[in-house]
Structure 1
């Protein structure tokens, strides 16, 4: 089995296309959220420096920073779920067709 045969297979093309789209989309979401946070810190630090409520030292910036970390975990979980369902099925179909 040569590389050109595998790359020309419709299941491989679909698998590569779907994985690429999902990866790029998730990267854009994470990068946009992170850069929005960094730009807010750079240009409007008072906005994130407000405490959550009176008498606390925890600010909105800390809460949003923790939210960014949680977003990273969420995007990872979405990718793993997609990889374990759709991508694994396409991979199995490809393997069966190429035998």
Structure 2
């Protein structure tokens, strides 16, 4: 069976909720991708161009440098935006998908 001829595929593709789902999911994906790239490449840029800043101790006489909390912050940021996407996908995107599938039956 050719999927492009299947009437259910055509009904789903033309469904307004499917168009809304695609647009919303794509927009969110691009926004989160740009945020992650800015954060990651910003950190890599600091490593490349301002090693002295990253080597600055956090406290007087301490051995932990400012680069460590920034790197940990980058990891936490990654986990947070992943969690944000999963939560939004589970709530909004899954509901829209279910509505579209029910309407296409």
Do both proteins adopt the same fold according to a TM-score greater than 0.5, normalized to the shorter chain?
yes
2:88 maps to 82
- 1:58 counterpart (28, 41, 64): 64
SS at match of 1:63: helix
SS at match of 1:59: coil
Report the structure number with the largest CA radius of gyration: 2
Structure having the higher helix fraction is 1
- Say if 2:53 is the partner of 1:12: no
Indicate the RMSD between aligned Cα atoms, in angstroms: 1.1
Aligned pair count reads 99
TM-score, length basis structure 2: 0.88
Deviation beyond 3 Å, 4+ runs, structure 1: none
Q: CA deviation at 1:49?
A: 0.7
Q: Give 5+ residue unaligned stretches, structure 1.
A: none
Q: Give 5+ residue unaligned stretches, structure 2.
A: 1-6
